[in-house]
Amino acid sequence: MIRPSAVTAQFWSTQDHLVICTLCPHRCRIPDGSSGRCGVRVNVNGTLVLPYYGKISSIALDPIEKKPLYHYYPGNQILSVGFLGCNFHCPFCQNYSISQSTDRSTMELTPQEVVNKALAENSFAIAYTYNEPSIHFEFVTATADLARNSSLKNVLVTNGHLEKEAASELLGRMDAVNIDLKSYDDEFYRRELGGDLDTVKQFIRIAGELCHVEITTLLIAERNDSEEELTAIAGFIASVNPQIPLHISAYYPAYHYTYDGTTPEQVMRAVKIASTKLDYVYPGNIPGEANTTCPTCGNLLVERRAYQVTTPGLHGTACNSCGAQVPIVLG
């Protein structure tokens, strides 16, 4: 049910009785009473409104390593909020119950209430995560502005599928971001995910100018794990900055995909390939620890054990063995 009091959206125009949303490259042409592909931006009597503004599907204090961010406030907890909907339709989505449906119970919070909760939990920051938060641009930016006024940091976990102007406005408010780079094959992006690779690459380049960036690739055997594709993914990231950390996470069957889960051996092979181009590549979603070693001398810099983090090899943000600077932001 659309609330008449729903907040008006940014980034839209009208044409022939349709509302055209210009937040993301889908540029949905939305008839009266309908929503765009993401399910949360709705044409009500010729105005694009946000009936899901402030509707929170999940809110929890998480280790920041879970986002995953390994080089930003390691070992800290972060208040994490999620909403409903997504502008992708990945058939392997691990959060499909909130990303592919808007028919789920939520709690309603204002931006100030989210900030107050972060302060009450002694969180250093707010993470916008779980579903695709960028389609809730207006709530996220309002919350991020208030968070900054309260000396909190802002962290975004996203598919990076936004038009350039919105991307710059959103990323300009973020301190750190983890962006999915799900493939280096535009056909895979279009057919399987419902998105486009060039937009995601543009988003990563903008983020590289504005905030701390880490990238995640969910590794699916025989779909995005060829040596050629992994080399292309790592090469592109290196062209932005070879010190951007890349997380290569194991896929496991979820939602519509029933292919076998990715094995630890397959993940470690991918890590090895990507490490030829990048200084910091981490396995994810597999047993064992993902430590940070110095790319110059091999010294153990950061040790991670089940979200317990120590920094035996750091002196400030430099390697305590060879003195090389490490791209890490300590809390």
Chain residues binding ligand SF4 by CB under 6 A are: 21, 23-24, 26-28, 36-38, 41, 87, 135
Contacts of 315 (CB under 8 A, 6+ apart): none
Minimum CB separation from ligand SF4 for residue 26, in Å?
Answer: 4
Minimum CB separation from ligand SF4 for residue 101, in Å?
Answer: 15
- Pick the closest to residue 131 from 99, 178, 170 (CA basis): 99
Q: How far apart are CA 44 and CA 49, in angstroms?
A: 7
Nearer to ligand SF4, 163 or 175 (CB): 163
In this structure, what is the dihedral angle of CA atoms 261, 264, 266, 269, given to the nearest 10 degrees? 160
Q: Which helix (H) or strand (E) holds 183?
A: none
Minimum CB separation from ligand SF4 for residue 79, in Å?
Answer: 25
Strand partners for 290: none
Question: Helix, strand, or coil here: 260?
Answer: coil
Burial of 1 (0-12, 13-18, 19+ CB in 10 A): exposed
Nearer to ligand SF4, 11 or 251 (CB): 11
Nearer to ligand SF4, 41 or 153 (CB): 41
Nearer to ligand SF4, 25 or 327 (CB): 25
Minimum CB separation from ligand SF4 for residue 184, in Å?
Answer: 22
Q: How far apart are CA 287 and CA 82, in angstroms?
A: 26
Nearer to ligand SF4, 87 or 123 (CB): 87
Nearer to ligand SF4, 41 or 247 (CB): 41
Minimum CB separation from ligand SF4 for residue 162, in Å?
Answer: 8
Minimum CB separation from ligand SF4 for residue 83, in Å?
Answer: 12
Cα–Cα distances (Å) from 285 to 32, 293, 306, 311, in that order, read 43, 19, 12, 22
Minimum CB separation from ligand SF4 for residue 74, in Å?
Answer: 33
Q: Given the DSSP bridges, would you call strands 153-158 and 107-108 parallel, antiparallel or unpaired?
A: unpaired
Number of Cβ within 10 Å of residue 49's Cβ equals 22
Q: How far apart are CA 183 and CA 232, in angstroms?
A: 9
Minimum CB separation from ligand SF4 for residue 306, in Å?
Answer: 37
Burial of 144 (0-12, 13-18, 19+ CB in 10 A): buried
Nearer to ligand SF4, 18 or 221 (CB): 18
Q: Which residue is nearest to ligand SF4 (CB)?
A: 36
Nearer to ligand SF4, 67 or 136 (CB): 136
Number of Cβ within 10 Å of residue 299's Cβ equals 18
